[in-house]
Structure 1
Amino acid sequence: MTKSIQDLREQRGAIAIELKALVENTKTWGPDAQAAYDSSMAQIDEIDASIRRISAFNEKVAADALDSRVAEATARAAHDGGNASAGRAVYQKWLRGGDAVMDAADMAVIRNVMSTTTNSEGGFTVATEVAASILDALKAFGGMRSVAEVIQTASGNPINFPTSDGTSEEGELIGENGTATDLDPSFDIRTLGARKYSSKTVAVPFELLQDSVIDVEAFVRDRLAQRLGRITNKHFTTGTGTGQPRGIVTAATLGKAGATGTATSVTYADLVDLQHSIDPAYREGGRGRFMMNDASLRNVRKIVDTTGRPIFVPGYEVADRGGAPDMLLGSPVTVNQDVAVMAANARSILFGDFSFYKIRDVMDVTLFRFTDSAYARKGQVGFLAWMRSDGNFVDVGGAVKFFQNSAT
């Protein structure tokens, strides 16, 4: 009997918990402990592969069901019906029928921002509840939103964060009747604006819009979130700060440079040095974490400490036993595919307190609906979303630093 994804996740979680106990409680790490560790990691990898295969199959089945208007689509009918709020209900109505089906009461729920040039290009600044669900869905893409501080504002006026680096400042010892020395702190400003992002146009078949059991809102929202999530995460990670957000990799400083011969690798000592390049104040309370590409994590999983003990412990999520993230040298790990893979001079691993990276979203998400001939002749309606967002690293004391692979 084929196991469900939930069954597989629970099985994975149980193995990960046992593995964590093995690493933490084994006093002398020998061949037997290593064999048990390798066997458990192999089981976890096999379960992860099974979860990915089942997920891919389910996605295909769901896509086929949407196209043929059968199967799983009916299970979502309740969400499309009376349980929706006024904002969501009007939003669904507009997605299906456009401006022609909207009345004055509907317009009062969602503010119309009709294009002044083409009647078919009607748009809406979607209801706050809908906008929040779109912005929340962006967390699934990349990793930056899961660790940064996200600020949501109603307008796009610039937000200034004063900064001051006092890590090198210290007081003085003065003798009787001595005069204190002047040492004025220096201040700087980090600004968060509201840069404009486009989802590119999402084409939806007429059949999808006309079928009342299809959750059109979820379909459109997920596609918009995928596209907006990927481009913004890339900029929050590696953006130059010129004409785009200043990414964390761009803003971070060097914590550890790999020795010659580590152009595509990292050592246990490198990771320890990177961890301790961050001031302890940023590591207190478990605030410090690693961030890297999944390909880099694959390499790191093979590293052992000076006693031969693996330094990586897989995370788990089990309903009745809580959960824990992947851990590396006692710190959580966040996978971000926009961080460079290990290569010559690559900034491939980050460590520090990522809460000092601020992401600012303007709550207004504007969606346009296109029914012109370019779409009509294909039996489609086009949707295009605009959102405003920005990101910047507001710390100047070295809260996040990077490991850089060697040139050769």
Structure 2
Amino acid sequence: MSEFIKRLQERRLNVWEQAKGLLDAAEGEKRELSADEEQTYQRLNADLDKIDERVKEFQEGEQRSKDAEAAFADLLAKPASGQRDEAAQGEAAKVRAWLTGQSGARSYDVRPDSPMPLDVRTLSKLTAGAGANTVPISFYNQLVQHLTENSGVLSTGPTVLRTGTGEQLQVPKTTAHSANAGIVAEAGPLNANEPVFGQVSLDAYKYGFLLQVSHELANDTAVDLLGYLATQAGRALGNGFGAHLVTGTGSSQPNGVLTASTMGVTGGAGAAPTSDNLIDLYHSVIAPYRSGNSVAWLMRDATVAAVRKIKDTTNQYVWQPGLTAGVPDTILGKPLYTDPNMPAVGAAAKSVLFGDFSTYFVRQVEAIRFERSDDYAFNTDLITYRAILRGDGDQVDTTGAIKHYVSA
């Protein structure tokens, strides 16, 4: 880890200790924070958020530098024969040739590297991390990384189905588990005891946007055009697709994880969750779901700011900062992720989610399609790109794997 990031992490822990000191002092005197203390506390919380942004920007910068070095090394490498074929140029060179129009192709399908043919459906988990820093990240993974960063649901570790084509996909859905087994008399009949299944239909809704750059920018080899395009496309697609993965209605759009969740705990009228509310919500999800690899909390940043003040029954803060860069903070020992599309605390608002997010399925059609046009903005000498993603999402276990806190 970079020494700079280590110093930022130490500073982050120090800021949190200062914030805890204010809260502990007020609690020891059995009073609320004074106006000045509240102002200081909010400033310290803002400092925590700023440090998180600095760490994230620095990590992205280091990764871009590694990617650029790998791309230039690939471009400068010459095979023994002295010939440079398309395969030897690598993905970066192929993408740049398309971006600048040198390839002559109008479209470019961005696909994950896979030895498997595209007509085979694969099941995988999408994690929040960018991967090992020693391995160059492909253009596809750069794009998906930014898409994930702008969607809290994709960060939590849902089950991601990637398919080569976009026809409707039927996925079995668990609606009820088997009942308890009972005592059976000798030679007596066994009672039927089967789980109840349904089906979830995953479609391929189309998300797209236009992006324009100048010819000068596209042809300037000193500019990280690949990184720029991956960042802009990933964020735009993540913002659009990610919003529906949280609050989508399921009618002509994905069925959002918030929409599909079941009620876990009801709190006070328009009130933020208390320590008891969070503990009750935690235990409203049964133990088999709580032990999964994708168990997490999901809420928006403003709700996190309120949760940072909360202590549990043992007088310990339920929110704990991550001890290393890139590791999420935790609540009651489970990772916390934020998504701006989660509702704010308010009357009848479902402001907190907790559960096993691997039971939420995200379907993505294999390729993220890019197309370019020199004619769309001919009078301004701009190259127009459009990016299109097709996907869907739905909860496949409706027995209570993901539950929400709602204010009365």
TM-score by length of 2: 0.75
Between the aligned partners of 1:131 and 1:57, the Cα distance in structure 2 is 21
Deviates more, 1:326-335 or 1:179-188: 179-188
Contact 1:77 1:214 in 2 (8 A): no
Q: Does 1 or 2 have the higher relative contact order (CA < 8 Å, sep 6+)?
A: 1
- The answer to whether the Cα contact below 8 Å between 2:292 and 2:356 also exists between their aligned partners in 1 is no
- The letter for the 2-side match of 1:335 is T
Determine if contact 1:357/1:394 at 8 Å carries over to the other structure.
yes
Structure 2 residue aligned with 1:108: none
Once residues 89 and 139 of structure 1 are traced to their aligned partners in structure 2, the CA distance between those partners, rounded to angstroms, is 25
1:347 aligns with 2:350: yes
2:364 to 357, 361, 366: 361
SS in 1 for 2:380: coil
State the TM-score, normalizing by the size of structure 1: 0.75
* SS of 1:317 mapped into structure 2: coil
2:214 aligned residue = 205
Give 1:40 shift.
10
Q: Is 1:171 aligned to residue 181 of structure 2?
A: yes
Q: Which amino acid aligns with 1:81?
A: F
Say which of 264, 267, 272 aligns to 2:274.
267
Is 1:88 the counterpart of 2:98? The answer is no
Asked if the contact 1:194–1:389 (Cα under 8 Å) also holds between the matched residues in 2, the reply is: yes
1:76·1:215 contact (CA, 8 Å) conserved in 2?
no
* Runs (5+) with no aligned partner, structure 2: 76-88, 114-138
- Counterpart of 2:225 in structure 1: which amino acid? V
What's 1:9 paired with?
8
How many residue pairs get aligned? The number is 354
> Which residue among 272, 278, 288 is the counterpart of 1:281?
288
Relative to structure 1, is the Cα distance of residues 40 and 315 closer, same or farther in structure 2, using a 3 angstrom cutoff?
farther
Match of 2:103 in 1: 102
**CA distance in structure 1 between the aligned counterparts of 2:191 and 2:68, rounded to whole angstroms:** 73
Find the aligned partners of 2:217 and 2:154 in 1 and give their Cα distance.
31
Give, in whole Å, the separation in 1 of the partners of 2:16 and 2:306. 22
Structure 1: unaligned runs, 5 residues or longer: 63-72, 104-111, 113-121
From the superposition, tell whether residues 246 and 74 of structure 1 become closer, same or farther in structure 2 (CA, over 3 Å): closer
Greater CA radius of gyration, 1 or 2?
1
1:314 corresponds to 2:321: yes
Residues 241, 86 of structure 1: alpha-carbon distance in 2 compared, 3 angstrom cutoff:
same
From 258, 262, 276, the counterpart of 1:253: 262
Task: Give how far 1:256 is off.
Answer: 0.9
* Structure 1 residues 249 and 401: alpha-carbon distance in aligned structure 2, compared to 1, 3 A threshold: same
Give 2:206's aligned residue. Answer: 196
In the alignment, the residues of structure 2 paired with residue 53 and residue 182 of structure 1 have an alpha-carbon distance, to the nearest angstrom, of 58
Following superposition, the deviation at residue 185 of structure 1 comes to: 3.9
RMSD: 3.7
Change (3 A) 1:392 1:301: same
Preserved contact between residue 12 and residue 316 of structure 1 (Cα < 8 Å): no
Cα gap change, 1:45 to 1:102, in 2 (>3 Å): closer
Tell me which of 336, 341, 346 is aligned to 1:338.
341
Cα separation, partners in 2 of 1:49 and 1:185, compared to 1, 3 Å: closer
d(CA) in 2 for partners of 1:93 and 1:355? 38
Deviation of 1:364 after TM superposition, in Å, equals 1.3
The alpha carbon displacement at 1:125 in A equals 2.1
Percentage identity across paired residues of the two chains:
28
Deviates more, 1:123-132 or 1:276-285: 123-132
Counterpart Cα distance in 1 of 2:220 and 2:328:
41
Structure 1 residue 248 displacement after superposition: 0.4
Q: What does residue 47 of structure 2 align with?
A: 46
Q: Distance in 2 between matches of 1:47 and 1:238?
A: 28
Which residue pairs with 1:387 in the alignment?
389
